[in-house]
Amino acid sequence: MGSEGTAPAFAYPVRVRFQDIDAAGIVFYARFFDWAHEAFEEWMRTRGTTIAELTSVRDVGMPLVHAEADYAGPARHDDRLVVRVADVELRPRSVQFTFSIEGDDGSPRATVKHVHACIDMARFRAREWPERLRTALSGA
């Protein structure tokens, strides 16, 4: 994975629960961000680490600094969705994840982007990725 981005093979299944929907009977928009973050955490497990392990050292943080979503179609109670890590763009001091969320029939529901900065926790300033994080995020 590099600055050009990649298409990692990872899918996180989700079933829309009653608590996920709003008064209009469709998924409340913020849930798409939750599912993208859940997929990110599970994707990290497939990379051989967890967010808890990465943050336990406490010298490096990965705060979310930007989030956006485009919605393509409604998701309703009891729908089965798939959240895919569609792209990971590792930059010197940040990483951008693009998640595609689809119905189990492949119909698009949303695209979510998260940008996480790499920071020095002692100074709370941007820094380059330490090797252990670069490896986990890039798969190198």
Per-residue pLDDT of the chain (140 residues; tens, 9 = 90+): 444 455 467 999 999 999 999 999 999 999 999 999 999 999 989 888 888 877 677 788 899 999 999 999 999 999 999 999 999 999 999 999 999 999 999 999 999 999 999 999 889 999 999 888 888 888 64
Q: How many residues does the chain have?
A: 140
User: Domain for residue 59, yes or no?
Assistant: yes
How many domains does the chain fold into? 1
User: Domain for residue 4, yes or no?
Assistant: no
Domain that holds residue 108: 11-138
CATH code, domain carrying 87: 3.10.129.10
Cβ(81)–Cβ(103) under 8 Å? Answer: yes
Burial 128-140 (b: 16+ CB within 10 A, else e): ebeeebbebbeee
User: Domain for residue 106, yes or no?
Assistant: yes
User: Domain for residue 5, yes or no?
Assistant: no
User: Domain for residue 18, yes or no?
Assistant: yes
